[in-house]
Amino acid sequence: MVNELKNKVLAGGSITEQEALQLMNAEDKEALYSAANEIRLHFKGNKMEMCSILNAKSGKCTQDCKWCSQSMFHKTNVEEYELVDLKVAEQQAKENAEKGVHKFSLVTSGRSISNKNLDQLCGVYKKIQKSTPIHLCASMGLLNRSQLEKLKESGVEHYHCNIETAPSFFPEVVSSHSIEEKFRTIRYAQELGMGVCSGGIIGMGESMEQRVEMAFTLRELDIESIPINILTPVEGASLKVDGPLSDDEVLTTFALFRFINPTANIRLAGGRNLIAHIQDKALASGVSAALVGDYLTTIGTNINQDKELFEKAGFNLGEHKCKHQPV
Ligand code: SF4
């Protein structure tokens, strides 16, 4: 059954939800991972797309996302600042470009961003665009069309807006905004011709069926880059989980996301340290991209060590060409 469905995807077909659930229950998990790897090689080649992020505005968020250290509803030790030193942002982009990272994103906490802060960050993007070849992304919450237009005019090619989880599980973890509001921002960005990066967090208490639901929702939204974060529990946040996901659940999730979204970049994102012991296997289960360097509010990875790891796993780190070119 795994082979049959793999051949269907390789031939350009799409699997159904029913078929994804069959794959989820496949007895031979190694065969599932290796089939997902074949699909990745067929559609994405052996390129590893690396991106990095900078937390440009941290903490004091009015939203109640249960997992998040930046929510005002939680007592955490997260650093709080209104806006990063703009020179630091420019410098970080430059350093990442020099290390061969393909994409760089400024990320801000909050439901959305003020027009004043947006203008300041657009100024930074314009400077980065002039001085480095790195591709630019932004993650600034629920934006309207004109805010996204400003970003695009400043050189931002991709907008990031995680749907976070399955629509059926979203209300369990967020009540201050809806997943439909995220869909709207994603649609605006796509209508403007921006690439969209949207994924979420696994291990928040959702079921494997809900992870499949999330993957199909992303397919319907035609998302080209899907970051998968593994929950890092935060002390002081209101989300309580029974324990970490099993290795098998993590690898099966990567493989299923690849089967369901064969042409998307399936991106290893936050929580990589939690799966360090199976990282080689994760890289051979359908993954084609990774978030490198420090993550939003957790310490990340060393870029040079990551590059070694990816090359050892057979990936090529050469120049990345985006289909969304800077304006
Ligand atoms: S995930 Fe974003 S919107 Fe939600 S609490 Fe954290 S910073 Fe705010």
Over residues 65-116, the pLDDT tens digits come to 999 988 988 888 888 888 888 888 899 999 899 888 999 999 999 999 999 9
The number of angstroms, rounded, from the C-alpha of 186 to the middle of its chain's C-alpha atoms is: 14
Q: Is residue 320 part of a domain?
A: no
pLDDT tens across 245-280, in order?
A: 999 999 999 999 999 999 999 999 998 889 989 999
Place of tokens 């209508």: 191
Question: Is residue 108 helix, strand or coil?
Answer: strand
Ligand 1 atom with minimal separation from the 164 CA: 1
Tokens of 38: 């074949």
Using a 10 angstrom Cβ sphere, with 0-12 exposed, 13-18 middle and 19 or more buried, the burial of residue 79 is: exposed
Best residue among 55, 58, 68 to mutate for probing ligand 1, ranked by most atoms within 8 Å of CB: 68
Whole-number Å distance, alpha carbon 71 to ligand 1 midpoint, is 6
Identify which of 109, 108, 106, 13 has the alpha carbon closest to the alpha carbon of residue 60: 109
Residue 266's nearest CA partner among 288, 283, 248, 282 is 288
Who wins on pLDDT, 242 or 11? 11
| Atom number in ligand 1 closest to CA 71 | 5
Q: What is the mean pLDDT of the chain?
A: 92
Please state, in angstroms and as integers, the Cα–Cα distance from residue 68 to each residue in 61, 62, 80, 203, 240, following that order.
Answer: 9, 11, 13, 14, 12
Residue 33 CA, ligand 1 centroid: distance in Å = 32
End-to-end CA, the chain:
46
* 181 has pLDDT over 50: yes
Sign, CA torsion 39/43/45/46: negative
Q: Are 156 and 134 in contact (CB under 8 A)?
A: no
Residue 59 Cα to ligand 1 midpoint, Å, equals: 8
Among protein residues, the one with the nearest Cα to ligand 1's atom 4 is 65
Q: Which residue has the higher pLDDT, 324 or 37?
A: 37
Region 306-315: mean pLDDT is 91
Residue whose CA is at the smallest distance from ligand 1 atom 5: 71
Q: Is residue 325 in some structural domain?
A: no
Compute, in angstroms, the gap from residue 163 CA to the centroid of ligand 1.
12
Structure-block tokens of residue 118: 């947006």
| C-alpha closest to that of 200 among 250, 269, 284, 283 | 269
Give tens-digit pLDDT for 21-75: 999 999 999 999 999 999 999 999 999 999 999 999 888 899 999 999 889 888 8
The CB of 154 under 6 Å from ligand 1? The reply is no
Calpha distance 284→272 (Å, rounded): 15
- Residue 60 alpha carbon to ligand 1 centre in Å: 9
- Most distant pair of Cα atoms in the chain: their distance: 55
Question: Which domain range does residue 231 map to?
Answer: 2-312
**CA gap 267, 195 in Å, rounded:** 15
CB of 61 shorter than 6 A to ligand 1: yes
- The rounded percent of the chain whose pLDDT value lies above 90 is 75
**What is the domain count for the chain?**
1
CB atoms within 10 A of CB 28: 11
Do residues 198 and 222 touch, judged by C-beta distance below 8 A?
Answer: no
How far is C-alpha 178 from the geometric centre of its chain's CA atoms? 19
Site of tokens 């690898």: 251
Two tokens at 247? Answer: 């290795």
Ligand 1: residue of 57, 71, 174, 232 to mutate (most ligand atoms within 8 A of CB) is 71
In a domain, 237, yes or no: yes
Q: Is the pLDDT at 298 greater than 80, yes or no?
A: no
Give a yes or no: residue 327 inside a domain: no
Atom of ligand 1 nearest to the CA of 110: 8
| pLDDT of residue 321 exceeding 80 | no
What is the CATH classification number for the domain harbouring 155? 3.20.20.70
Residue 111 CB less than 6 A away from ligand 1: yes
Q: Where are the alpha helices (DSSP H) in the chain?
A: 2-10, 17-24, 29-44, 86-98, 115-131, 145-153, 170-173, 179-191, 208-220, 247-260, 279-283, 303-312
What pLDDT was estimated at residue 31?
Answer: 97
- Predicted confidence (pLDDT) per residue in 123-180, tens digit: 999 999 998 989 999 999 999 999 999 999 999 999 999 999 999 999 999 999 999 9
Judge whether residue 295 has pLDDT over 60. Answer: no
**Does the beta carbon of 55 sit less than 6 angstroms from any atom of ligand 1?**
no
Cα of 68 vs centre of ligand 1, distance in Å, is 6
Q: Does the structure show a pLDDT above 70 at 324?
A: no
Distances in Å between the Cα of 28 and the Cα atoms of 34, 50, 124, 213, 284 are: 10, 31, 50, 22, 15
| Residue 319 placed within a domain | no
φ, ψ at 155 (rounded to 5°): 105, 0
Nearest atom, ligand 1, residue 73 CA? 5
CA–CA dist 200, 186 (Å, integer) = 14
Name the residue type at position 196. Answer: V
Please tell me the distance between residue 67's alpha carbon and the centre of ligand 1 in angstroms.
9
Residue 189 lies in a domain: yes
Whether residue 321 is contained in a domain is answered as no
For the cut 70, the answer to whether the pLDDT of residue 203 exceeds it is yes
Residue 327: the pLDDT is 36
Neighbours of 258 (CB within 10 A): 29
Determine if ligand 1 sits within 6 Å of the CB of residue 139: no
Residue 198 domain-assigned (yes or no): yes
